[in-house]
Amino acid sequence: MKGKILILEDDIVLSEQIANVVKHYNYEVMQTVNSDQFFEVLRQFQPDVILLDVFLVGSKLNGIQVLQHLKNDMDLNYKVIVISGEVTSSQINEIRTLGAYHFIEKGSAFSINQLLLHIENAITLKRQEEEHIGLQIEYINLKKQFTRSFPFIGESNAIKKVREQIIRLASVDEDIFLIGETGTGKEVAANYYYIYSPRFGKPFHTVNCSALSETLIESELFGHIKGSFTSADRDKTGFFEECSNGILFLDEVTNLSLMSQSKILRAIENKEIQVVGGNLKKVDTRLIFASNAGLEKLSDESIFRKDLFYRIEGNIVELPPLRERDDDILLLICYFLTSFSSQYSVIDRLDLPALKDDLLNYSWPGNVRELRNFCKFIMINEQKINNNVIKKHLQQKINQFRFSKNYSSEKYTKIHNLKDSVASFERDYLLYYLSLNNWRISQTAEAIGLERTTLYKKIKSLGINHLKMED
């Protein structure tokens, strides 16, 4: 079937003639003679095109009133072709204002071929509009999916400024350079840029530059031709070409060699790439760079090319560390705990604002990533989560951090005998936690996850003076 036609016409003979013709051209047809019958059929039949008469004898509503009801109260996309005779110019204007697709006058000028043409065009337009609406819905759903997968959480002034910068650069379709400590959320920021870019919905790929060997960089980024080198057994399309008209996210870009950086600069400036073993190709690829190197390292020309740095210097966005985001830590921990709760454990009588000082007492060197893993660890290892549980695990984290700062691995790697090195580490480890727990054996054993008797044995075997210890 080419489409569905619903006829509202009180002239049964004319209605039957039109129905027979459109059926012949492979349309499905339903006929009605008054407004009550019409609305009864309409919802169930769901036509593509409605053929509507203006003057309906014996009907509660005339054609114009039906048209008004369709415009004001119905939520489906019907194309209405009005077929009538002896209407005034003001009525024709009203019919057009109410959104009718076309008006055809009855009488000697009436042509069934013209009607068929208008029906076909109306259905084509309807389907194009529905396809456009479908694409819009798909586009909106895709944005929602990205936003859920990479939520940019935070209300601190620092993070608000970052979001504003990203939206501004994305809206004008500029390359962007994201810098910040490890774990500050550069991937989240890159996806946030993508959501607000006019290129959203086009290809978007992430390349971890630290995972690319020097021999593979050109092939991966720019592609190669079959036979261009020993293992090139087929043509390969590089990421630049795959993301033409889209966005390529180069994470840890400072790990690329200066030579590779120069080729990326050429691709940016000339909008073309040199395929390995092949020809130059035009590309239109927007780039997001990211690095955990600070500005001082980026200005070091032995690490990052000055000409590339100057090319994107004005588009640098610096992501703040978690320790500088104040109350954001409460929003983030609430989000992570809630996200993991359905999968791992139950949240019980949690008062996060009361934990703010404790949470900010730790520097979180791994930033948001470390906080996320901290929340996941708690959810996996505890059946119920409350303030005391979080405080306990946070204190353990702080203790471990202090221990790792005070006792570097270098001290133990200098001891060439493995058994002696392990014993030296264990001794320092136990002394540290015994001191931290005021030399109480039971408390220390619980803090480090050992049985009390096991701890006693280790203290004795490692020659730790236990005179000042308490059970």
CATH of the domain at 66: 3.40.50.2300
Question: From CA 276, how far away is CA 258, in angstroms rounded?
Answer: 18
Residue 278 and residue 391 share a domain: no
Distances (CA, A) of 53 to 43, 290, 298, 356, 438: 19, 65, 74, 71, 95
Domain count, the chain: 4
328 domain-assigned: no
Query: What's the pLDDT at 372?
Result: 92
Distances (CA, A) of 351 to 323, 330, 339, 354, 378: 20, 10, 17, 6, 16
Helices 418-436, 387-406: crossing angle, 10 deg rounding: 130
159 domain-assigned: yes
Domain residue limits at 69: 4-129
Residue 317 parent element (H or E): strand 316-318
Question: From CA 67, how far away is CA 84, in angstroms rounded?
Answer: 13
Label residue 223 left, alpha or beta by phi (over 0 means left) and psi (-120 to 50 means alpha): left
CB atoms inside a 10 Å sphere around CB 146 = 16
Residue 353 and residue 294 share a domain: no
- What is residue 253's DSSP assignment? G
Residue 162 and residue 303 share a domain: yes
Query: What's the pLDDT at 256?
Result: 87
Query: What's the pLDDT at 228?
Result: 79
* Strand-pair partners of 84: 105
Residue 192 and residue 106 share a domain: no
Mean pLDDT in each 10-residue stretch from start to end of the chain (471 residues)? 89 89 90 91 90 89 88 77 82 84 80 86 82 62 64 91 95 95 93 92 90 80 84 86 93 89 90 88 94 86 90 93 92 88 76 89 90 90 87 83 64 76 79 76 82 83 68 61
Residue 313 and residue 166 share a domain: yes
Question: From CA 471, how far away is CA 439, in angstroms rounded?
Answer: 9
Query: What's the pLDDT at 147?
Result: 60
Query: What's the pLDDT at 137?
Result: 60
Query: What's the pLDDT at 83?
Result: 87
Residue 310 and residue 213 share a domain: yes
pTM: 0.62
